[in-house]
Amino acid sequence: MNFYTQLWKQFMRITFLFISILLTIGLLSVRATNVKGQDLNRQMSFSVGRESLSSAIKRLQTQSGLGFAYDEQYLGLSRKTTLPGDFSNQSLSDILTALLQNTDISFKEEGGNILLYKVEYGRITGKVVDETGSPLPGASVMLTGTNLGTTTDSNGNFVLSVPEGTYTVTVSFIGFKKLEYPDIKVTSKPYILNVNMAGAGLLKEVTVSYGKQRQRDITGSLAVVSGNDLLDKPDNQFAQELQGKVAGVEITQNNGAPGRGFQFKVRGATSFSLSNQPLFVIDGLPITGSINNINPDEIESFTILKDAAATALYGSRASNGVVLITTKHARPGDAKVTFDAYFGEQGVPQQHRYKLMDAEQWAQFENEYYQDKLTYEPATKPTLNPVYADPSRYGVGTNWFDEVTRRAPVESYNLTVSSATDHSQSTVVAGYSKQDGVIVNTGVEQFSLRINNDYSFANNKLKIGFNL
């Protein structure tokens, strides 16, 4: 009995000790949770004079009865001075925010204590340029949701020092579309953000006879089409891409050969005997040859000049209008390699195919034609060609429409490589396209290569370039 009695007593002691430990842990957890939820929201009154920040924090700690964790020497509290102020029935969070204003110190609640820590700063640096690569001085660079921001200098450069964290950067400039860059992570390592802004509205520059002008300053009649708006059209000819895109410009194909025979009419026909084709100018150089060999993937934008004032520079050659073509040029930023391709098939739709008689039906037609003439026009003494006497012997014969037509493949491949710095831009566009005609033994195959290089010197006052 003594053995079992002692065993029972030991069991009861262990059980009592275990229950006590659980109750102690539970009470501590409840108290810590309550403290953590109430510390910064606690309402209190506090007065501060012109004194050191160290003295004010110690008095606040004593008056609130809460634990503060901080390194006084590292934070330099004794070297910082507070401004006089009275806080009546305000939260501890508001009081600390006022005391630490204009310092590099912040606070947070951690483990039931108020932790004071030094804010670490990072930098966002970069350059803001327009579509042509020219710097935009005075552009605004702001952090969304804060009052932190800066403006670019005369060269378009900016440096923004901000506390470490994740931000959304907004860049804006008068006459340009506002840009937002989310999830910018700022650390001790500088974050480089180069911005390329696109023009908006009437302040956007467009290509005209004498160079470039703001759209709002133009009084002549013109139309602008961006090459980006035509990317979804898989055509081997830029004339096909422009069909129906510009008011007052009629584009027709008077030749059924693949990729050939496109004609432009700007504001209708101007001559009964001469050509109505407008003048085509590529990167400032008028061309007199065929326009069918221009690769659409090389083109950045079209500007169509319609009236006499807009075409004055080119004289009588521009009497039918001018189509200005600007090819792709690199812009400052990272090097880019773009490859696009498409493949398809073309053919004559079933509803547009001619319904032809086969050999037996043709012989039967000639036979019936002879019988009708014999019945209704015997005076003409008709005769039947012996080859049509027995139509059944010919059968279906040969369908010549199917023999001369086919399902024709069409394919195109383009590779664009561009690279640019502050003083040089280079672009290479290589293309291959092939379009077989739906009529056998017709088609077009084309190889193209364009190289654009631009160089600037003396702070962009001197520019030299060549196009190949």
- At 182-238, the pLDDT tens digits run 888 888 788 999 998 876 654 455 555 555 555 544 545 677 787 777 776 777 788
Say what the pLDDT of residue 36 is: 45
| Measured CA distances, 291 to 215, 236, 277 (Å) | 27, 12, 11
Say what the pLDDT of residue 97 is: 83
Cβ neighbors of 167 (< 8 A, separation 6 or more) are 143, 144, 146, 184, 186
Say what the pLDDT of residue 254 is: 75
Residues 407-443: tens digit of each pLDDT: 999 998 999 998 888 788 889 999 998 888 888 888 8
Distance CA 455, CA 337 (A): 20
Beta strands in 92-202 (DSSP E): 105-110, 113-118, 121-129, 140-143, 149-151, 157-163, 165-172, 179-186, 191-192, 195-196
Provide the percentage of residues in the chain whose pLDDT is more than 90.
Answer: 9
Amino acid at 467: N
Residue, of 203 and 284, whose pLDDT is higher:
284
pLDDT greater than 70 at residue 156 = yes
Distance CA 202, CA 218 (A): 10
**DSSP 8-state code for residue 222:** E
Average pLDDT, the chain: 80
Report pTM. 0.51
Residue, of 356 and 311, whose pLDDT is higher:
356
**3-state DSSP helix/strand/coil % of the chain, to nearest 5:** 25, 40, 35
- Would you place residue 142 in the very low, low, confident or very high pLDDT band (cuts 50, 70, 90)? very high
Distance CA 271, CA 288 (A): 19
Residue, of 39 and 95, whose pLDDT is higher:
95
Dihedral-angle region of residue 284 (phi above 0 means left; psi in -120 to 50 means alpha; beta otherwise) = left
Fold classification of 43-118 is Phage tail protein beta-alpha-beta fold (3.55.50)
Residue, of 246 and 221, whose pLDDT is higher:
246
Amino acid at 228: N
Top CATH class of 121-201 equals mainly beta
Provide the percentage of residues in the chain whose pLDDT is more than 70.
Answer: 83
- Would you place residue 37 in the very low, low, confident or very high pLDDT band (cuts 50, 70, 90)? very low
Say what the pLDDT of residue 127 is: 92
State mean pLDDT over 19-42: 52
Say what the pLDDT of residue 128 is: 92
Nearest Cα to 428, choosing from 465, 467, 457, 391?
A: 467
What homologous superfamily does CATH list for 207-320?
TonB-dependent receptor, plug domain (2.170.130.10)
Residues 57-105: tens digit of each pLDDT: 888 888 888 888 888 888 888 888 888 888 888 888 888 888 888 787 8
Residues 286-340: tens digit of each pLDDT: 887 777 778 888 888 888 887 776 666 777 777 788 888 888 888 776 688 889 8
